[in-house]
C-alpha cells in the first residue's frame, strides 16, 4: 500500500499579536433606561455595566473586523502574505452568504482560506482552538482569528432581558509557530438542551411567511443563563488549567467572556483563583460584545498595566448554544 508522505507543522503555536476596535460611541445607562422602565442603579447592580460601546449606523461588523485585524497584524510584525487562513467569528454579519471572512481578507490584501464560524460568545476561543490546530498540523503558517459583533443591529430597546447589555466591537489575534507551548489544550463542548435560553426571537422564515412578524432580535432567559454560566463553567475552566499542566497559582490573568460582572465574580470564587490573579472586567465600560469580549478585555489589561508579554492567562468563552471553550494562553 502506498502511504502519504506528509510534513507536519511546528510542535507548538502562540499568539503573536493582538488588536481591537471598539464602537465609536460610549452609551451610558441613562440613554437606555426609559424603554425598559429601569434605572442606572439597577443596571449597575445587576450587570456591573456603566456604559457600553456602540458603532455608528454606517459602521459595519466588517469595518470593525478590518480595523482590529490591521492592528493585530501590525502587532504581530508579519506581512499579510504570511497569513494562510482567516477565521471570523460573528453572529451579527447580516448575510447568510457570502461569509464575512473572505471580504475582510480581501480588504486586507489576503487571498488565503477564509471562513466564518458561529459560536456566539465562545466564538473567539473556538477560533483560537482551530488556529492552534492549523499551525501545528502544518496547514497554515499564521492564522488571523477575529471575533466581531455589531450587536446593536439586533437589539429591541424595550427588551429587559438583554438589550441594555450589548455593545459593538471587534478583537483579533494572529496565531503562529512557537518554540515553546503558547496555547494550552482547548476544553470545549455544548449543551444543546439549553439552546433556547439565548436565542433569536423569530426565524427569517417566520419573517418571510408572516409580514406581521417583527424584525428578529436577541433574547435571553436571564436567571437560567446566570445559573448555567456561574456554576457550570468553573469546572471547565479548572479542566483547562489542568490540561495545560499548570495550577491556579501559575495563572496571572483570568479573562472570561464579558457577560455580567456578577457572573465573573461568581466564577472567580468557584474556580478558587488566588487574589494575585487579575480579572478582566472590560464589560464595565464596553458592555457585552459577544465574540469580541475576551480580546477587548485582554487589551484593557495591557492598557492598564496589569499584564505583560509572557504572562499566563486563562480565558473562557460561553454563550448561545449553549457552547463553551476554555484554554490557557501565553500573552503576546
Catalytic positions are 121, 257, 288
Q: Distances from the Cα of 164 to the Cαs of 24, 27, 260, 283, 288, in angstroms?
A: 17, 10, 11, 12, 9
Q: Distances from the Cα of 207 to the Cαs of 111, 199, 211, 214, in angstroms?
A: 36, 16, 6, 7
The CA distance from 292 to 303, in Å, is 17
The CA distance from 138 to 229, in Å, is 35
| Residue among 144, 165, 168, 182 nearest 55 (CA) | 168
Residues constituting the chain: 332
| Residues whose CB falls within 8 Å of the CB of residue 317, separated by 6 or more in sequence, listed in order | 119, 121, 122, 123, 124, 125, 126, 256, 257, 291, 293, 294, 324, 325, 326
Amino acid at each position: 500500500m502506498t502511504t502519504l508522505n506528509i510534513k507536519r507543522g511546528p510542535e507548538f503555536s502562540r499568539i503573536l499579536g493582538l488588536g481591537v476596535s471598539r464602537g465609536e460611541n460610549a452609551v451610558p445607562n441613562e440613554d437606555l433606561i426609559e424603554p425598559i422602565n429601569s434605572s442606572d442603579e439597577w443596571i449597575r447592580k445587576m450587570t456591573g455595566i456603566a456604559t457600553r460601546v456602540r458603532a455608528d449606523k454606517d459602521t459595519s461588523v466588517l469595518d470593525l473586523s478590518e480595523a482590529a485585524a490591521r492592528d493585530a497584524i501590525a502587532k504581530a510584525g508579519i506581512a499579510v502574505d504570511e497569513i494562510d487562513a482567516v477565521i471570523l467569528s460573528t453572529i451579527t454579519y447580516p448575510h447568510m452568504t457570502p461569509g464575512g471572512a473572505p471580504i475582510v481578507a480581501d480588504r486586507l490584501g489576503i487571498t488565503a482560506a477564509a471562513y466564518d464560524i458561529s459560536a456566539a460568545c465562545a466564538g473567539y476561543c473556538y477560533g483560537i482552538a482551530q488556529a492552534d490546530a492549523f499551525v501545528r498540523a502544518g496547514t497554515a503558517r499564521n492564522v488571523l482569528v477575529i471575533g466581531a459583533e455589531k450587536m446593536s443591529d439586533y437589539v429591541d430597546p424595550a427588551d429587559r432581558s438583554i438589550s441594555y447589555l450589548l455593545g459593538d466591537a471587534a478583537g483579533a489575534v494572529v496565531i503562529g509557530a512557537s518554540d515553546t507551548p503558547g496555547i494550552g489544550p482547548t476544553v470545549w463542548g455544548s449543551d444543546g438542551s439549553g439552546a433556547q435560553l439565548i436565542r433569536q426571537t423569530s426565524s427569517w422564515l417566520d419573517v418571510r411567511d408572516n409580514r406581521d412578524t417583527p424584525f428578529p432580535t436577541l433574547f435571553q432567559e436571564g436567571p437560567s443563563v446566570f445559573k448555567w454560566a456561574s456554576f457550570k463553567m468553573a469546572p471547565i475552566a479548572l479542566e483547562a488549567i489542568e490540561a495545560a499542566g499548570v495550577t491556579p497559582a501559575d495563572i496571572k490573568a483570568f479573562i472570561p467572556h464579558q457577560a455580567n460582572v456578577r457572573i465573573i465574580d461568581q466564577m472567580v470564587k468557584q474556580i478558587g483563583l488566588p487574589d494575585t490573579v487579575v480579572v478582566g472586567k472590560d464589560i464595565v465600560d464596553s458592555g457585552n460584545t459577544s465574540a469580541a469580549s475576551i480580546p477587548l478585555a485582554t487589551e484593557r489589561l495591557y492598557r492598564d498595566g496589569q499584564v505583560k508579554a509572557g504572562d499566563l492567562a486563562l480565558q473562557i468563552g460561553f454563550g448561545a448554544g449553549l457552547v463553551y471553550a476554555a484554554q490557557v494562553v501565553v500573552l503576546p
